[in-house]
Amino acid sequence: EDQVTQSPEALRLQEGESSSLNCSYTVSGLRGLFWYRQDPGKGPEFLFTLYSAGEEKEKERLKATLTKKESFLHITAPKPEDSATYLCAVQTFGSGTYKYIFGTGTRLKVLA
């Protein structure tokens, strides 16, 4: 069965304390892996798409990487405004149909 697991469930960091969030997946027919940020009461905000192992993408203090079994979201020198839930999702294609599977997210709190 296709599965996406994110860890840790929650993370508290001091401002400037770098860390990484993990997204491991077991799926067939992987087409892409997506990272989103979600603030309370709002829809997810797109961050990155990764398509193949070894690919990396960066945006401000965030860097996403992908291997054959997992993806990491590295946060460098975080600020309080980076506090949010970070969601990972995979897109699969098989038997002529697309599916999207989200993890349950990592709730990040950055303290000033």
Partner 1 sequence: ETGVTQSPTHLIKTRGQQVTLRCSSQSGHNTVSWYQQALGQGPQFIFQYYREEENGRGNFPPRFSGLQFPNYSSELNVNALELDDSALYLCASSLDGNEQFFGPGTRLTVL
Choosing from 42, 54, 81, 112, the residue that interacts with partner 1 (CB under 8 A) is 42
45 binds partner 1 (CB under 8 A): yes
Burial (CB count within 10 angstroms: exposed 0-12, middle 13-18, buried 19+), residue 3 = exposed
Scanning 12-20, 61-69, 75-83, 91-99 for contacts with partner 1 by CB under 8 A, the matching segment is 91-99
Work out how close the CB of 84 gets to partner 1 at its nearest, in angstroms, rounded to a whole number: 14
Cα angle, residue 100 at apex, residues 26 and 24 outer, rounded to 5°: 30
91 binds partner 1 (CB under 8 A): yes
Work out how close the CB of 88 gets to partner 1 at its nearest, in angstroms, rounded to a whole number: 8
By beta-carbon proximity to partner 1, the closer residue of 18 and 52 is: 52
Burial (CB count within 10 angstroms: exposed 0-12, middle 13-18, buried 19+), residue 95 = exposed
State the residues that interact with partner 1 by CB under 8 A: 4, 32, 34, 36, 42-46, 49, 87, 89, 91, 96-105
